[in-house]
């Protein structure tokens, strides 16, 4: 039970959870813990490594090992009444508005708008030939001092040419409104959520530890005629995010069994 580095990790985990070591405070040095537990420093380091991958501890080189604050979970409404809640100021995007409502400073920063060839994952979702020209809008969604999400949106170049959607500036009034104004009003969307290990550049941009996970969400937006007009990929810090689908209607209106759960 209490033997080995796993046992040491368990004891430390308990102490953290019970508040003996409070979030933000420093725990004893590796040498001190080694002496305290009567083991070598390497054994302590193995225990600490476990707690680091669990997100309970973080280290600052040459400074010490700190108890991490529990991650702020941004609950992001993807659908439903909540998603249409009050939005007084039209100059603020949904991300900023939402964060503001929670007392978080939210910013959405457009990092790139570029024309490129659709790679397979994008082409398939837009129902285009691979290599067809598309316009990519890349954005960083900030929550406080961290990037919570990276977003890339692709639209067929033929569709957005000459509209503000192909420009590098923020789209005033929102992307969906602009789409509607140019004749391809969104009709419905499909979303897919999966989790995976963070990779290369995104790990740095999201300030994630090696081995930390991300949530990858793909959304396909179709117009009233069912034509795919936009595909959006969101890569989110998994421990900071939750996605909500509110008030999905089921049962009535001739559609039977619309929700498949795992029964």
Partner DNA sequence: CAGTGGTCTAGACCACTTT
Partner DNA sequence: AAGTGGTCTAGACCACTGT
φ, ψ for residue 232, nearest 5 deg: -120, 130
185 binds a second copy (CB under 8 A): yes
Q: Give the one entry of DNA, a second copy, none that residue 25 binds, where binding means its C-beta sits below a cut-off of 5 to 8 angstroms depending on kind.
A: none
Q: Give the one entry of a second copy, DNA, none that residue 115 binds, where binding means its C-beta sits below a cut-off of 5 to 8 angstroms depending on kind.
A: none
- Residue 88 CA to residue 96 CA, distance in Å, equals 12
Q: Give the one entry of DNA, a second copy, none that residue 251 binds, where binding means its C-beta sits below a cut-off of 5 to 8 angstroms depending on kind.
A: a second copy
**Closest-CA residue to 67 (of 4, 104, 105, 14):** 14
- Residue 115 CA to residue 154 CA, distance in Å, equals 9
Interface positions, 208-227, toward a second copy (CB under 8 A): 210-211, 213, 215, 219
Write the binding mask 136 to 165 for DNA: x where contact by CB under 7 A, - elsewhere: ------------------------------
Interface positions, 1-30, toward DNA (CB under 7 A): 3-6, 29-30
Q: For the residues of 133-166, what is the DSSP string, one character each?
A: EEEEEEEEEEETTEEEEEEEEEEEHHHHTTSGGG
Q: Do residues 39 and 205 make contact, with C-beta atoms less than 8 angstroms apart?
A: no
Interface positions, 57-86, toward DNA (CB under 7 A): 59-65
Residue closer to a second copy (CB basis): 121 or 195: 195
User: What do you get for the CA distance between the two ends of the chain, in Å?
Assistant: 38
Residue closer to DNA (CB basis): 60 or 81: 60
- Residue 57 CA to residue 51 CA, distance in Å, equals 6
Q: Which of 39, 82, 83, 104 binds DNA (CB under 7 A)?
A: 39
Q: Give the one entry of DNA, a second copy, none that residue 64 binds, where binding means its C-beta sits below a cut-off of 5 to 8 angstroms depending on kind.
A: DNA
Q: Give the one entry of DNA, a second copy, none that residue 59 binds, where binding means its C-beta sits below a cut-off of 5 to 8 angstroms depending on kind.
A: DNA
Q: Give the one entry of a second copy, DNA, none that residue 207 binds, where binding means its C-beta sits below a cut-off of 5 to 8 angstroms depending on kind.
A: none
Q: Which of 149, 165, 208, 235 binds a second copy (CB under 8 A)?
A: 149
H or E element in which residue 233 lies:
strand 228-237
Tell me the angle at which helices 4-17 and 30-37 cross, rounded to the nearest 10 degrees.
Answer: 110
- Residues in contact with DNA by CB under 7 A are 3-6, 29-31, 38-43, 45-46, 48, 59-65
């Amino acid at each position: 039970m209490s033997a080995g580095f796993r046992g040491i990790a368990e004891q430390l985990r308990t102490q953290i959870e019970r508040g003996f070591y409070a979030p933000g405070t420093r725990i004893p040095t590796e040498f001190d813990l080694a002496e305290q537990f009567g083991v070598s420093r390497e054994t302590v380091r193995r225990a600490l490594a476990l707690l680091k991958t669990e997100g309970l501890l973080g280290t600052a080189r040459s400074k010490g090992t700190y108890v991490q604050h529990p991650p702020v979970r941004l609950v992001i409404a993807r659908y439903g009444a909540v998603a249409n809640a009050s939005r007084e100021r039209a100059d603020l995007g949904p991300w900023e508005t939402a964060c503001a409502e929670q007392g978080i400073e939210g910013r959405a920063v457009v990092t790139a708008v570029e024309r490129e060839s659709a790679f397979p994952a994008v082409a398939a979702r837009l129902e285009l030939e691979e290599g067809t020209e598309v316009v990519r809008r890349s954005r960083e969604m900030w929550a406080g001092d961290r990037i919570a999400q990276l977003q890339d949106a692709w639209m067929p170049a033929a569709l957005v040419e000459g509209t503000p959607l192909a420009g590098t500036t923020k789209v005033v009034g929102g992307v969906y409104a602009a789409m509607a104004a140019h004749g391809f009003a969104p009709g419905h969307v499909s979303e897919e959520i999966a989790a995976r290990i963070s990779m290369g550049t995104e790990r740095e941009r999201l300030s994630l530890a090696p081995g930390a996970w991300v949530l990858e969400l793909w959304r396909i937006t179709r117009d009233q005629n069912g034509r795919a007009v936009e595909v959006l990929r969101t890569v989110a810090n998994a421990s900071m995010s939750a996605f909500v689908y509110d008030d999905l209607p089921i049962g009535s209106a001739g559609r039977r069994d619309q929700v498949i759960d795992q029964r």
